[in-house]
Amino acid sequence: MQLWFQTPPAQRSILSALIPVALLLVFCCLASLFFGAGDVGPREVLAVLSGRGSDDAQFIVYELRLPRTLVGLFAGLCLGIAGALMQSVARNPLAEPGLLGVSSGSAFAVAIALTLGASTATLSVGLAQLGALIGCFCVIGVAQMQGQGNDPIRLVLAGAALSSLLIAMTSLLLLYNERAADEIRFWVTGSIAGRRLDQLLSLMPSFLLALACVLYVARPLASLALGERVAIGLGYKPGRIRLIVVFAVALLVGAATAIAGPVMFVGLVVPFAARALVGPDIRRTLWLCLPIGPLVILSADIFSRLVAQPAEMPLGVLTAMVGAPVLLAIVRAHRLPTL
């Protein structure tokens, strides 16, 4: 009898991988409610969830931990799906929104807004998405350059250069504006602490629009992975598919950056894990990204609360600690996976 882990990823049932990851995500959501700011233990959290508990416990659970958990779910969904789309359209396993400058473009747009007088509480998500869109076009432009898109390492180097330039320009803006620097100091390292439900709800329209785009391009992207001629032969237009993917990635990354800051490496780690479980088909990968993205963000956030109590470590630091070894493992592989 062939065991599950002995079966090639592409032949595994999607449910056999999806169900255990979804159960892990449920466990992680409960842990996110049980541990965190405030002196409220698991027993008191269960009392609050069953309709009892003190007013203080209800405030901590419903006003602090629950919004933080939901924001983590949202940011993980956005970054995981955006990473899978970007890697698929660039046909490059190293294409990651944070690594290639898309998140930095969004953060730069936010820094400009803060410098001009906006605040993080009233920040327009459209501005962050516009910055992400410009970053997307820069990355795709590099990927389409002759000889560049076929070389994953050169693409990453070009993206890292773009990202470094945008981070430097962001720092320069903040250097001349102390108020903006105070507003953005914790946000630029990535954090989902202190976010409110109304901020999350304001992102839903663009998120739903992005999901509609993903549903529209999932099948064409799978055909495009077989080559442009195959996609054209099946009636698809590669240029239009790429444009819709860029638009969807900008919506997703811009929304995630607006509420959680530029969190690095999630868009790299999540599709990498999903492909390892179910193979390279983008439609199967996207299904696995749905639970794995939130799982990565929430796990990192819970650890960030516990590792340096009573203070917290920035979320972006932990995702970088997990993502950097994955990046090195991909680069050091004898043969990079072909998408």
The mean pLDDT value for 171-192 works out to 69
3-state secondary structure the chain: CCCHHHCCHHHCCHHHHHHHHHHHHHHHHHHHHHCCCCCCCHHHHHHHHCCCCCHHHHHHHHHHHHHHHHHHHHHHHHHHHHHHHHHHHHCCCCCCCCCCCHHHHHHHHHHHHHHCCCCHHHCCHHHHHHHHHHHHHHHHHHHHCCCCCCCHHHHHHHHHHHHHHHHHHHHHHHHCCHHHHHHHCCHHHCCCCCCCHHHHHCCHHHHHHHHHHHHHHHHHHHHHCCCHHHHHHCCCCHHHHHHHHHHHHHHHHHHHHHHHCCCCCHHHHHHHHHHHHHCCCHHHHHHHHHHHHHHHHHHHHHHHHHCCCCCCCCHHHHHHHHHHHHHHHHHHCCCCCCC
Whether the pLDDT of residue 73 is over 90: the answer is yes
pLDDT digits (tens, 9 = 90+) for 24-37: 999 999 998 888 76
| For the chain, percent of residues with pLDDT exceeding 90 | 14
- CB neighbourhood size of 141 (10 A): 12
17-31, 89-103, 228-242 — most confident range: 17-31
pLDDT of residue 78: 92
For the chain, percent of residues with pLDDT exceeding 70: 81
Which pLDDT score, from 0 to 100, does residue 120 have? Answer: 63
- d(C-alpha 104, C-alpha 134), whole Å: 10
pLDDT higher than 80, residue 272: yes
Query: Quick one: pLDDT at residue 152?
Result: 59
pLDDT at 45: 85
- pLDDT, mean of residues 304-315: 76
Find the range with the poorest average confidence among 16-20, 59-63, 88-92, 180-184. 180-184
Q: 316 is written with which tokens?
A: 């972006």
The per-residue pLDDT for 110 is 78
Kindly state the average pLDDT of the residues 109-121: 73
The closest alpha carbon to 300, from 72, 26, 45, belongs to 72
Two tokens, residue 6: 């002995």
Of the candidate ranges 98-107, 120-129, 130-139, 149-158, the one whose mean pLDDT is the lowest = 149-158
Band (pLDDT 50/70/90 cuts) for residue 13 is: confident
Q: What is the pLDDT, as a whole number, of residue 23?
A: 93
Q: Regarding predicted confidence, which is higher, 93 or 10?
A: 93
Cα separation of 79 and 98, whole Å?
9
Per-residue pLDDT for 149 more than 60? Answer: no
Q: Indicate whether 119 pLDDT > 70.
A: no
